[in-house]
């Protein structure tokens, strides 16, 4: 039991897809009884099988005992194919992880609200919709909070807790305490497009694509530089191929549109062409790389000076984005750093990285890019500018 006594409370999950099934497993593993509801019976069957497989793997790897796996499985109830949400009665929190569509989510929240007690927290796992917009469907929007897990939810530790302008601070604290008690790392994010990770990470992909489009370096060379010199676990093109170029393009487009077509986030034509030609990445066996049997992997040009130029440019853009997120209250500097290291495995926090390089040096790199290209895309963050002028650091 945690201090708030909620650890063993019943948890509801609506939507048994990739995210809902993972979240349900995390909650059940933390000792909760969990009821999972999905409108489509086949999704429930798939989730049940996926869970059994995942638990068996944990046992095989020695991560949990067979008895523990059986107990987790027993705590999970799956209900599919029905339109009835009454199984959520008695839940301390219901997490929604259905299709990313505002009308569908609003209608689901309206219906969930009828089934649960007044103190039940209603959480959405939305990646790109506004929490306030979803909450507006509810009679009590104060209890609606964003609880944004990363895929796969059983593996990635980060969860962004998102309070909307309508969310009660008590609901934010309660949701955070509950998710913390599941062993996750939580950060607080404002209800702004992309929250922390999906906003701050844009240049990792966007600037790499731009470098490719300018013919400065090849896909393989950019990936090599970001891994070998930048220290990132995966190169941007490898990662886009893994995520799916359609998914990555959709996130970029959504952030671009939601932030008023700011040129910093403008989607790349190259990426759009990849989607249009069904080169979606690993899932279609063809993306920036060819994944078919026997296909040769292109060799990078391992020129250190070129590699450093690539890394310095992408990292400066990432730090610039992180600084902007702090300035505009998306999150604190420490939560931005925590989010990028725990959510997308960056080798270090971007703002800690800025301190290491020197804020004025990062600012100078941004200024040089802006001068070179004369594009608003490269405008230095005003926070970087003032910090450089005053000789300040992000972290003490
Ligand atoms: N996939 C990711 O990487 C990821 C990461 C973080 C957040 N999210 C968000 O999580 C949510 C779910 O994404 P996903 O990838 O798990 O999707 P998914 O397509 O794998 O699963 C969605 C599930 O919801 C069910 N469903 C759809 N409408 C429903 C309704 N009205 N009532 C009940 N069930 C319904 C579907 O049958 C399906 O099983 C979305 O909001 C998405 O933006 C996704």
pLDDT score of 7 more than 80: no
Judged by DSSP in three states, 184 sits in coil
Give the mean pLDDT of 200-229: 98
Give residue 124 CA to ligand 1 midpoint distance, Å: 10
> Which residue is associated with the tokens 């240049």?
203
Give the mean pLDDT of 90-104: 97
pLDDT band at 5 (very low <50, low <70, confident <90, very high): very low
Is the CB of residue 16 below 6 angstroms from any atom belonging to ligand 1? yes
- Neighbouring CB atoms inside 10 A of 128's CB total 17
Average pLDDT taken over every residue of the chain? 96
Judged by DSSP in three states, 267 sits in coil
Judged by DSSP in three states, 142 sits in helix
Residue 14 bridge partners (DSSP): 37, 96
Is the CB of residue 108 below 6 angstroms from any atom belonging to ligand 1? yes
**Range in 5-14, 17-26, 72-81, 118-127 with the lowest mean pLDDT:** 5-14
CATH class of 10-190: alpha beta
pLDDT score of 114 more than 90: yes
pLDDT score recorded for residue 83: 78
Give residue 280 CA to ligand 1 midpoint distance, Å: 20
pLDDT score of 1 more than 60: no
- Separation between Cα atoms, residue 254 and residue 128, nearest integer Å: 7
Torsion of CA 149, 24, 124, 94, to 10 degrees: -150
For the chain, which residues make up each domain, given as ranges? 10-190, 199-390
Give residue 296 CA to ligand 1 midpoint distance, Å: 35
Give residue 16 CA to ligand 1 midpoint distance, Å: 7
Is the CB of residue 248 below 6 angstroms from any atom belonging to ligand 1? no
Give residue 221 CA to ligand 1 midpoint distance, Å: 35
**Which atom of ligand 1 sits closest to the CA of residue 101?**
41
pLDDT score recorded for residue 4: 43
pLDDT score recorded for residue 39: 94
Q: Is 195 left (phi over 0), alpha (psi -120 to 50) or beta?
A: left
pLDDT band at 122 (very low <50, low <70, confident <90, very high): very high
pLDDT score of 3 more than 70: no
Give the mean pLDDT of 184-196: 98
Hey, which of 21, 47, 84, 98 would you mutate to test ligand 1's pocket, going by the most ligand atoms within 8 Å of its Cβ?
98
**What tokens appear for 170 in the block?**
């008590």
pLDDT band at 80 (very low <50, low <70, confident <90, very high): confident
pLDDT score of 298 more than 50: yes
Give the mean pLDDT of 48-61: 95
pLDDT score recorded for residue 82: 72
pLDDT score recorded for residue 2: 40
Q: Render pLDDT for 373-389 as a digit per residue (tens, 0 to 9).
A: 999 999 999 999 999 99
| 266 neighbors 256 (Cβ within 8 angstroms) | yes
Hey, which of 26, 42, 94, 97 would you mutate to test ligand 1's pocket, going by the most ligand atoms within 8 Å of its Cβ?
97
pLDDT score recorded for residue 147: 98
Give the mean pLDDT of 199-214: 98
Q: Render pLDDT for 259-290 as a digit per residue (tens, 0 to 9).
A: 999 999 999 999 999 999 999 999 999 999 99
Question: Would you give the DSSP letter of residue 286?
Answer: B
Is the CB of residue 56 below 6 angstroms from any atom belonging to ligand 1? no
Torsion of CA 70, 74, 80, 86, to 10 degrees: -160
Q: Determine the CATH number of domain 199-390.
A: 1.10.1040.50
Q: For 61, phi and psi rounded to 5 degrees?
A: -80, 0
Q: Render pLDDT for 140-160 as a digit per residue (tens, 0 to 9).
A: 999 999 999 999 999 999 999
Q: What percent of the chain has pLDDT over 90?
A: 96
Is the CB of residue 125 below 6 angstroms from any atom belonging to ligand 1? yes
Is the CB of residue 151 below 6 angstroms from any atom belonging to ligand 1? yes
Which run of H or E residues covers position 11? Answer: strand 10-14
pLDDT score of 108 more than 90: yes
Is residue 298 reached through a cis peptide bond, with omega within 30 degrees of 0 on the bond before it?
Answer: no
- Separation between Cα atoms, residue 95 and residue 134, nearest integer Å: 13
Which run of H or E residues covers position 135? Answer: helix 131-135
Most confident of 5-9, 81-85, 168-172: 168-172
Give the mean pLDDT of 103-120: 97
Hey, which of 13, 14, 15 would you mutate to test ligand 1's pocket, going by the most ligand atoms within 8 Å of its Cβ?
15
Q: Render pLDDT for 308-322 as a digit per residue (tens, 0 to 9).
A: 999 999 999 999 999
pLDDT score recorded for residue 132: 98
Is the CB of residue 13 below 6 angstroms from any atom belonging to ligand 1? no
């Amino acid at each position: 039991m945690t201090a708030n006594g909620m650890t063993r409370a019943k948890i509801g999950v609506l939507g048994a897809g990739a995210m809902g099934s993972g979240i349900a497993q995390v909650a059940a593993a933390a000792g909760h009884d969990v009821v999972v509801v999905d409108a489509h019976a086949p999704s429930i069957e798939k989730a049940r099988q996926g869970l059994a497989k995942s638990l068996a793997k944990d046992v095989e790897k020695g991560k949990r005992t067979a008895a523990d796996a059986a107990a987790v499985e027993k705590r999970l109830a799956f209900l599919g194919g029905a339109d009835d949400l009454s199984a959520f009665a008695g839940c301390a929190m219901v997490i929604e992880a259905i299709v990313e569509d505002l009308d569908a989510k609003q209608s689901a929240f309206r219906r969930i609200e009828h089934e649960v007690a007044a103190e039940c927290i209603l959480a959405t796992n939305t990646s790109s919709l506004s929490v306030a917009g979803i909450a507006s469907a509810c009679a009590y929007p104060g209890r609606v909070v964003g609880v944004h897990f990363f895929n796969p939810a059983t593996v990635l530790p980060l969860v962004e807790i998102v309070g909307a302008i309508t969310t009660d601070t008590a609901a934010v604290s309660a949701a955070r305490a509950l998710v913390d008690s599941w062993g996750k790392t939580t950060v607080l994010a404002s209800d702004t497009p992309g929250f922390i990770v999906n906003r701050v990470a844009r240049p990792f992909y966007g600037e790499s694509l731009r470098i490719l489009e300018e013919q400065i370096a090849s896909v393989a060379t950019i990936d090599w530089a970001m891994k070998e010199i930048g220290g990132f676990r995966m190169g941007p093109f490898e990662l886009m191929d893994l995520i799916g170029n359609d998914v990555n393009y959709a996130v970029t487009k959504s952030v671009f549109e939601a932030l008023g077509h700011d040129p910093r986030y403008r989607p790349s034509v190259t990426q759009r062409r990849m989607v249009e030609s069904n080169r979606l990445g690993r899932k279609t066996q063809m993306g920036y790389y060819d994944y078919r049997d026997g296909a040769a992997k292109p060799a990078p040009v391992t020129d250190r000076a070129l590699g450093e130029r690539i890394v310095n440019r992408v990292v400066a853009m990432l730090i610039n984005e992180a600084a902007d997120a702090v300035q505009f209250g998306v999150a604190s500097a420490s939560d931005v750093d925590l989010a990028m290291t725990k959510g997308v495995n960056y080798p270090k926090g971007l703002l800690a990285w800025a301190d290491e390089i020197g804020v004025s040096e990062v600012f100078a790199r941004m200024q040089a890019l802006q001068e070179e290209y004369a594009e608003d895309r490269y405008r230095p963050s005003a926070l970087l500018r003032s910090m450089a002028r005053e000789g300040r650091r992000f972290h003490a």
